[in-house]
Amino acid sequence: MIEEIPYPESVPDLFEKIADLPWPVFLDSAGLGRYDILAAAPFVTLVSKGGVTEISDGHFITFSDEDPFVILRKRLLPFEGKSDFPFAGGAIGFFGYDLGLSLNGIATQKEDSGFPDLAFGLYDWAIVVDHEAKQAHLVSRSEKFPENLMERLSSEGRKQAPFRLSGPIESVPDFEAYAKAFSSIKNYIAAGDCYQVNLARRFMAPFSGDPWTLYREIRKKSPAPYSAYLSNPHCSILSASPERFLKVVDGRVETKPIKGTRPRSKDPLEDALLAQSLLRSEKDRAENLMIVDLLRNDLGKACESGTVRVEKLFDVEHFASVHHLVSTISGRLDRGEDALSLLKGAFPGGSITGAPKRRAMEIIEELEPFRRGPYCGSIARIGFDGNMDSSIMIRTLAASKSSICLWAGGGIVNDSVLHDEYEEIGHKARMLLSCMESAGASC
């Protein structure tokens, strides 16, 4: 069923009309892409933690220790007919980085992050906003809408409690501890254990109010093409991600890894020079190429032999606070493979682990003083038609009941300089920290 609704002047205002329904999701192009996708009130929810998945259909709750990718696939099959819309029902949610530890057989003794390893809703309706056509449609597979949905869409929307920090922003590791971990990575590289390792810092603070109001501020100051807001009883995810992970449309696969960063400048000449320095940097190009090779291998696990190719190498893309070096790799799914088998074989994304991936993840697990939780996992939509789009959860905050976390990191290679890498993390986190600080504290 397809019903056209008025094209919204403000998609965030439209989302607020359904945001008090269970499990609301907003896949937000932030004015940089063609489509926005909004949904809520899924008919099934899946939440995995520590190898056990809770499956709820609103009436009954069951638990399973089966592979969560298998559970999700069973709920999506059989795939239904094609749609002219990018999403006409299916699964929307996130895979946390910690799920990748179990996929790669890496044990952890660290304190629980407090976040699910996987949280997905299965939605049989969605609002699809097409900014190119200036149209919006309510799309459904079953005509099972929440009660009074149309009345909601013409209402004023809910009132939000303003987001406020209730204490200082604390970060780990500090410079001294970061420097020690940096030195250990350099030693591992010199010993031939790895070529690159992504090392991160975590910023965390207590808060009160509604994380949605913080997200609205973030999308104004730091718009990104793979932005998203997801909320469920376990957590809220506020993402301003610039990075696509994996996209599948009718069997064609695309990934766009990011490696290489420079800050933006308000001075146009200096800004252009910063972008040029990124493009010409031998270190950043080498770092990017390592991840391109890793992802070519990851795509090859699920793609037809000979179809994986590098479409673009070392493109400079421009975002609100940084320039990024981005490459594009494509392929075609092999017979018997699908979007979920592709994602499982490539998860977590190589751009936020290092190379080789498993050894880099072992080193991250050894050196970072926290569990990553959602950070560096993936937000994904997987349609009943088999198509998928997903992002890497960088430039992302995750809120539990009383605390909110932000992570930022960078790849360490043989030529990396300690102060430069530490400063780069600051560039990446700067805009989001600014949004947090303006809500009531400084770091």
State the SS3 of the chain.
Answer: CEEEECCCCCHHHHHHCCCCCCCCEEEECCCCCCEEEEECCCCEEEEEECCEEEEECCCCEEEECCCHHHHHHHHHCCCCCCCCCCCCCEEEEEECHHHHHHHCCCCCCCCCCCCCCEEEEEECEEEEEECCCCEEEEEECCCCCCCCHHHHHCCCCCCCCCCEECCCCEEECCHHHHHHHHHHHHHHHHCCCCCEEEEEEEEEEEEECCHHHHHHHHHHHCCCCEEEEEECCCCEEEEEECCEEEEEECCEEEECCEEEEEECCCCHHHHHHHHHHHHHCHHHHHHHHHHHHHHHHHHHCCECCCCCEEEEEEEEEECCCEEEEEEEEEEEECCCCCHHHHHHHHCCCHHHCEECHHHHHHHHHHHCCCCCCCCCCEEEEEECCCCEEEEECCCEEEECCCEEEEEEEEEECCCCCHHHHHHHHHHHHHHHHHHHHCCCCCC
Assess if residue 154 is contained within a domain. no
Handedness of CA 12, 376, 389, 261 (dihedral sign): positive
Instruction: Using alpha carbons, list the distances in angstroms from residue 367 to 81, 258, 262, 349, 370.
Output: 47, 23, 25, 19, 9
Residue 186 appears among annotated catalytic residues? no
Assess if residue 258 is contained within a domain. yes
Cis peptide before 162 (omega within 30 of 0): no
Assess if residue 443 is contained within a domain. no
Q: Are 238 and 221 in contact (CB under 8 A)?
A: no
CA distance 427 to 443: 14
How confident is the prediction along the chain (443 residues), in pLDDT tens digits per residue?
889 999 999 999 999 999 999 999 999 999 989 999 999 999 999 999 989 999 999 889 999 999 999 999 999 976 666 778 999 999 999 999 999 999 999 988 888 888 999 999 999 999 999 999 999 999 988 777 777 888 888 887 777 889 999 999 999 999 999 999 999 999 999 999 999 999 999 999 999 999 999 999 999 998 999 999 999 999 999 999 999 999 999 999 999 988 888 888 889 999 999 989 998 888 889 888 988 999 999 999 999 999 999 999 998 988 877 888 999 999 999 999 999 999 999 999 988 999 999 999 999 999 999 999 999 999 999 999 999 999 999 999 999 988 999 999 999 999 999 999 999 898 889 999 999 888 654 43
Q: Domain total for the chain?
A: 1
Please identify which of the residues 17, 247, 256, 259 carries the catalytic annotation. 259
Assess if residue 273 is contained within a domain. yes
In whole angstroms, how large is the CA radius of gyration of the chain? 21
What's the residue count for the chain? 443
Q: Are 286 and 413 in contact (CB under 8 A)?
A: yes
Please identify which of the residues 16, 17, 49, 243 carries the catalytic annotation. 243
Assess if residue 393 is contained within a domain. yes
Residue 301 appears among annotated catalytic residues? no
- Greatest CA span in the chain, whole angstroms? 64
Assess if residue 359 is contained within a domain. yes
Assess if residue 8 is contained within a domain. yes
Assess if residue 268 is contained within a domain. yes
Token output for 366: 């050894």
| Tens-digit pLDDT profile for residues 27-77 | 999 998 999 999 999 999 999 998 999 999 988 999 999 999 999 999 997
Q: What's the CATH number where 263 sits?
A: 3.60.120.10
Beta bridge partners of 140: 125
Domain hosting 138: range is: 2-147+162-437
Token output for 213: 């109001």
